[in-house]
C-alpha cells in the first residue's frame, strides 16, 4: 500500500520559517543568527529558506515587519472623551512596547543601523507610520484643523506621546520595564503632560536613584610609568575603537600599533580587554556628566525651553553621542551599571537649567517625570538611533519648538 507524502502548504512553511527565525534573531542577534541555525530550528533545508527569502537581510526585514504588525495599537475610540480614549491608547502602547519580542526586535533595529542603514530606516518608517491613526485622531479633535496641536506636526505629536509614555531609550539601556500599575501611571502622566502642560507641584525630585561617584578611578590597577599624556591618548584611542567596532570588533593589536603602548603594559594597567572597556567607558561617562547645560536667557518660559531643547538635540545628534548610545545598547549585558549610569547622567544634566527656568517663570521646581519627559521630547526618544535622517539648524529649531510647546502649553480640547 502506498503511503502518501504529506504536502506542505507553502504559506504555512513560510510562516514556520519566520516563526523560528524570530526566535533565533532574538536569541543570537542579527550577526549571530545564521541561515543554518534557522533551518535547523525550523527543520527545513537551508535551500527551502531561500525559496522564500533572498537573503538573511530579507528574512530579518520580513520577520520584523510581521511581528511588529502584531503589536499594532487599536485606534483611539471616538465614542469616548478624548482624554480617556488617548489614555487607553497609550496604556496599550506601553503594554505592547514592554513585550520582550517587540522590544527585542526594536533593539535589533537600532543595532543593525551601521551595517544595514537602508533596512533600519525602512523599518523605522514603518513603525512611525503605526502612529498615523493616533495622529489622525488628534487632528480630528481640532475639526480638521491643526490649531488644537499648537502648530505641532500631528505625526510628531503622536509619536512623542508614545515616546514619553514608554520613556524613550531608557529601557534599552537596561532599566527593566515596570509592572502593570507603573506602566499605566506612565501612560496617564503622558496624557496629563500633553493635555495640561507641565503642572508640577513644586516638590523636590528624589535624586537618590541617580547619585553615584566617579565611574572610573584616576588610575586603574597598578600605577605604571606610562606618562599622563600617553595614558590619556591610549584611553581616547581605545574609546574610539570601541565606539566604531564594538567590544568584540575592537582590535588590541591595532590599538598597540596606533599608540605604541605594548599589550603587556595595557594588561598591567587594566587587567584585560574587559577592564580597559569598563574603564574608558566610565571615564567618558564621567567626562560628559561634568559638562553642564547653560541656562538660556530669553523673554519667556517657552522660549527658554526651546533654546535648551535645541542645545540638547544638537548634542544628541552628534556622531559621538549616537555612537555611545548604540554601543551601550549593544553591550548592555556586559556593562549594565554603566548603561544605566549614562542615561541617568543625561537626565541629571538637565536638572539645574530646567529648575532655573521653572523657578524664574513659574516659581516651582520641575518634577522627576517632567525632567525625564523633557529629555525624551528633546531627543525624540529612539528616532535618531534608527533613522539616518539628518537635521539642519531649521529642523532642530522646529523640533525644539515643538518640545517647548508641549511642555508649556496644553492641547486646546476639553
Measured CA to CA, the distance from residue 325 to residue 113 in angstroms comes to: 12
Specify the CATH number for the domain of residue 62.
1.10.10.60
Q: Please write the tens of the pLDDT for every residue from 114-123.
A: 778 887 887 7
Same domain flag for 98 and 193: yes
202: confidence class by pLDDT, cuts 50, 70, 90: very low
Same domain flag for 59 and 177: no
Global pTM reads: 0.85
Same domain flag for 207 and 61: no
Measured CA to CA, the distance from residue 76 to residue 85 in angstroms comes to: 5
- The one-character DSSP state at 317 is T
Q: Please write the tens of the pLDDT for every residue from 320-367.
A: 999 999 999 999 999 999 999 999 999 999 999 999 999 888 888 888
Rounded to whole angstroms, what are the CA distances from 90 to 132, 159, 219, 354? 14, 11, 47, 26
Is 179's pLDDT higher than 90?
Answer: no
Under a CB-based contact definition with an 8 Å cutoff, are residues 188 and 221 in contact?
no
Measured CA to CA, the distance from residue 342 to residue 347 in angstroms comes to: 9
| Mean pLDDT computed over 220-249 | 85
Under a CB-based contact definition with an 8 Å cutoff, are residues 414 and 331 in contact?
no
Q: Which helix (H) or strand (E) holds 27?
A: helix 10-32
| Mean pLDDT computed over 2-25 | 78
What is the pLDDT, as a whole number, of residue 313?
95
Same domain flag for 48 and 105: no
The per-residue b/e assignment along 273-287, b for 16 or more CB within 10 angstroms, e otherwise, is beebbbbbbbbbbbe
Measured CA to CA, the distance from residue 291 to residue 270 in angstroms comes to: 26
Question: Within a domain: residue 370?
Answer: yes
Under a CB-based contact definition with an 8 Å cutoff, are residues 289 and 348 in contact?
yes
* Domain limits for position 153: 82-211+290-408
Q: Please write the tens of the pLDDT for every residue from 22-66.
A: 889 888 888 889 999 999 998 998 898 999 999 898 998 888 888
The residue from 37, 69, 101 where one domain ends is: 69
What is the pLDDT, as a whole number, of residue 413?
44
Percent of the chain scored above 90 by pLDDT? 37
Least confident of 241-255, 357-371, 378-392: 378-392
Measured CA to CA, the distance from residue 16 to residue 38 in angstroms comes to: 10
Same domain flag for 22 and 126: no
Same domain flag for 310 and 396: yes
Q: Domain count for the chain, please give it.
A: 2
Under a CB-based contact definition with an 8 Å cutoff, are residues 225 and 265 in contact?
no
User: What is the grid cell recorded at 102?
Assistant: 517587540
Beta strand segments in 8-160, E: none
Same domain flag for 89 and 191: yes
Same domain flag for 52 and 187: no
Same domain flag for 337 and 370: yes
Same domain flag for 28 and 103: no
- Give the residue, 262 or 213, on which the prediction is more confident: 262
Measured CA to CA, the distance from residue 337 to residue 291 in angstroms comes to: 20
Amino acid at each position: 500500500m502506498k503511503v502518501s507524502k504529506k504536502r506542505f502548504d507553502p504559506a504555512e512553511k513560510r510562516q514556520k520559517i519566520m516563526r523560528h527565525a524570530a526566535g533565533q534573531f532574538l536569541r543570537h542577534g542579527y550577526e549571530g543568527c545564521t541561515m543554518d541555525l534557522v533551518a535547523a530550528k525550523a527543520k527545513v533545508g537551508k535551500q527551502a529558506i531561500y525559496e522564500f527569502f533572498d537573503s538573511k537581510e530579507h528574512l530579518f526585514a520580513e520577520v520584523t515587519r510581521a511581528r511588529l504588525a502584531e503589536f499594532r495599537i487599536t485606534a483611539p475610540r471616538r465614542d469616548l472623551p478624548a482624554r480617556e480614549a488617548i489614555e487607553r491608547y497609550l496604556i496599550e502602547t506601553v503594554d505592547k512596547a514592554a513585550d520582550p519580542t517587540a522590544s527585542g526586535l526594536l533593539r535589533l533595529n537600532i543595532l543593525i543601523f551601521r551595517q544595514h542603514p537602508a533596512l533600519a530606516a525602512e523599518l523605522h518608517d514603518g513603525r512611525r507610520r503605526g502612529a498615523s491613526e493616533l495622529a489622525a485622531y488628534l487632528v480630528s479633535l481640532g475639526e480638521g484643523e491643526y490649531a488644537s496641536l499648537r502648530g505641532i506636526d500631528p505625526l510628531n505629536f503622536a509619536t512623542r506621546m508614545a515616546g514619553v509614555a514608554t520613556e524613550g531609550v531608557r529601557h534599552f539601556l537596561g532599566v527593566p520595564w515596570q509592572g502593570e500599575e507603573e506602566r499605566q501611571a506612565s501612560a496617564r502622566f503622558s496624557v496629563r503632560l500633553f493635555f495640561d502642560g507641565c503642572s508640577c507641584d513644586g516638590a523636590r525630585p528624589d535624586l537618590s536613584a541617580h547619585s553615584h561617584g566617579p565611574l572610573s578611578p584616576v588610575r586603574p590597577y597598578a600605577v605604571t610609568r606610562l606618562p599622563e599624556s600617553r595614558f590619556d591618548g591610549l584611553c581616547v584611542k581605545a574609546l574610539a575603537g570601541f565606539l566604531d567596532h564594538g567590544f568584540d570588533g575592537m582590535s588590541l593589536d591595532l590599538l598597540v600599533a596606533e599608540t605604541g603602548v605594548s599589550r603587556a603594559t595595557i594588561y598591567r594597567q587594566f587587567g584585560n580587554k574587559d577592564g580597559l572597556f569598563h574603564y574608558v567607558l566610565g571615564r567618558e561617562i564621567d567626562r560628559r556628566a561634568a559638562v553642564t547645560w547653560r541656562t538660556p536667557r530669553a523673554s519667556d518660559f517657552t522660549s527658554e525651553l526651546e533654546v535648551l531643547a535645541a542645545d540638547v538635540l544638537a548634542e544628541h545628534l552628534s556622531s559621538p553621542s549616537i555612537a555611545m548610545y548604540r554601543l551601550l545598547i549593544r553591550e548592555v549585558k556586559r556593562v549594565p551599571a554603566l548603561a544605566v549610569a549614562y542615561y541617568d547622567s543625561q537626565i541629571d544634566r538637565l536638572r539645574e537649567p530646567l529648575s532655573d527656568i521653572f523657578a524664574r517663570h513659574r516659581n516651582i521646581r520641575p518634577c522627576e517625570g517632567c525632567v525625564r519627559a523633557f529629555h525624551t521630547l528633546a531627543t525624540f526618544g529612539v528616532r535618531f538611533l534608527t533613522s539616518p535622517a539628518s537635521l539642519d539648524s531649521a529642523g532642530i529649531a522646529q523640533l525644539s519648538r515643538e518640545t517647548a510647546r508641549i511642555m508649556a502649553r496644553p492641547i486646546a480640547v476639553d
